[in-house]
Structure 1
Amino acid sequence: MTRTGHNRSASRSALREAARAQLEGGGSVLLTGPAGIGRSTVAARIADGLAARGHRVLRCSPSPADRDSPFLGLIDLLGPAGDEALAPLAAHERAVLEGALLRGTPPAGSDPTGGRDALVLRVAVRKVLAALASDAPLLLVVDDVQWLDEPTARVLLFLARRPGPHHAVLATLRTAPHTGPDAPAARELCPQPVRTLPLPPLTVREIADVLDAHGLHGGPAWPRQLVARLHEAASGNPRTALELAAGLHESAAAGAPLPDAWEPLPVPESLSRPVLDRVEALPARARQLLLTASAAVRPTVELLRRAGCRQAAADVDTCVRHGLLAPP
């Protein structure tokens, strides 16, 4: 392993340790990174480690389809909370909470998404968390916070802005490639102090270990240079590396020779289709800029402008924001 590779590997290990220390010290953590970089895996390892050290851990992992399901995140978070955790609640508080959690029939005419009952619900959740935190440190894990339903997000925002009963939040946020995280809204759901930790890419050695674990290492027929190419093409992203390796594995199984150093790697549709969809969604001028840039060895904004892309700077910015170009 190169010195750079060793440092990157150590940095991911150090990140887990920094997150653990932050959470045990009473703070919250926001893990950021692009799709497939391993946010969920790292968050699970951190949470499992803290659970082994005596923390009570409540988790939810929303998906895009969950954003339109009110309180689904809260239902998942409080799923392990039994009747004893609801014991401190007044009758109306408990009825409103059980209605939101789909554990009982809500009071007639109540609406926990707005008005007075929304406040009743938030106070009830605060009391439940206090009960759960009475005998062990409490950690809430929200994996892929960008997909959290709005009613649950408003509850977490209410809790984060009010001191005690204390709970820590470990959240993960998906960010676009080559752009900084759009994290302010996610940070507001976490009790202060909050530390944002971007996940670094995996090293060549770590990518090789991932391929081995999934049976996609190719055996001795895959030279180290090819694994290094997979790592470079994936930018250290394990999910992308696995997709590329699967395409290469299928190609080799069909009898195709392994690509030489100057030949492109086979790209499966699972990777190419999302990129093509993003390209097709661009304005025509930005698509033309991408086509022009692909014909140059080292395209620059000035070179693109000379080639006829008069609004090159603005179009490059558009492509960067869509994750199709690295910042110049």
Structure 2
Amino acid sequence: MGADGNGGGAYERDRSCLTTRITADGRDGFPVEPGRYRLVIARACPWANRAAIVRRLMGLEDVLSLGIAGPVHDERSWCFHLDPGGRDPVLGIEWLREAFLRRDPGYPHGITVPAIVDVPTGEVVTNDFERITLDLGSQWSAHQREGAPDLYPERWRDEIDDVAGKVYRDVNNGVYACGFARTQAAYDEAYRRLWQRLDWLEERLAGRRYLVGDTLTEADVRLFPTLARFDAVYHGHFKCNRQKLTELPALWAYARDLFQTPGFGDTIDFAQIKAHYHVVHQTINPTGIVPAGPDVRGWLSPHGREQLGGRPFGDGSPPGPPPPAERVPPLG
């Protein structure tokens, strides 16, 4: 998840990763090939959640298989404890670290999801969470479903990058900066920046349905996983508690709108999210007790955002339902 970096108590995420790309032309030695690769995620992880969403929106389920690490792990990081025998059925490994060490026996960085593994060799190709979603939306275009949306349209890229950058710094990573701060001053600064940005987003979304333009983009994909986890874990567990998401009218309606859009809410498993944060983060929650709440049925309540216009998929169409083996438990 990262490490404290500057000695002042502020949390700094370790963004070191394997930056090898899987591309249509195979420039890095890994060409796009149906069935060759396996995307490994964890339902609990917001960074992996992005990749799961884009894979769904692009309709890549039949060409890029999905491995799901369980929510609970130790210092060895993500493992496949939900699978029969505790092993991924395709890769045959118990721990994701095995695939990283096959790529580099001395791999010095974090064992993180999302990661894409080359099935024939069992080696991780990449765990570059920012690049993975962009490449699933572009490099895999020959295998995308008919009606797949363009999440990174050329004319909006500068604005998408600007908004997504602010969201990453102050919100996606900002909640971690609050939760893992080691001094009051570091926490106070992270909290200030988080809520300054959430107020900015609340104002921005009051009069527009999506963050950039009038369709879903990478910016929305990157904000949604944090909002989905906000009341369940970040509000209390990470001390981001000025208000709940449900108390922010525009952001709460926006989050429900996305949750009810195929490809978004059908990737969310609240039980796994709560189990991960409350059990694994022993320095924050030493008892390991997982809270029973909050009531998540409100995610299915009407959001009223249609009145703002916008076309979620642009000239495209929504994806179909997820494969049976990938379905998450229904709410309620």
TM-score relative to the length of structure 2: 0.26
Higher Rg: 1
TM-score relative to the length of structure 1: 0.26
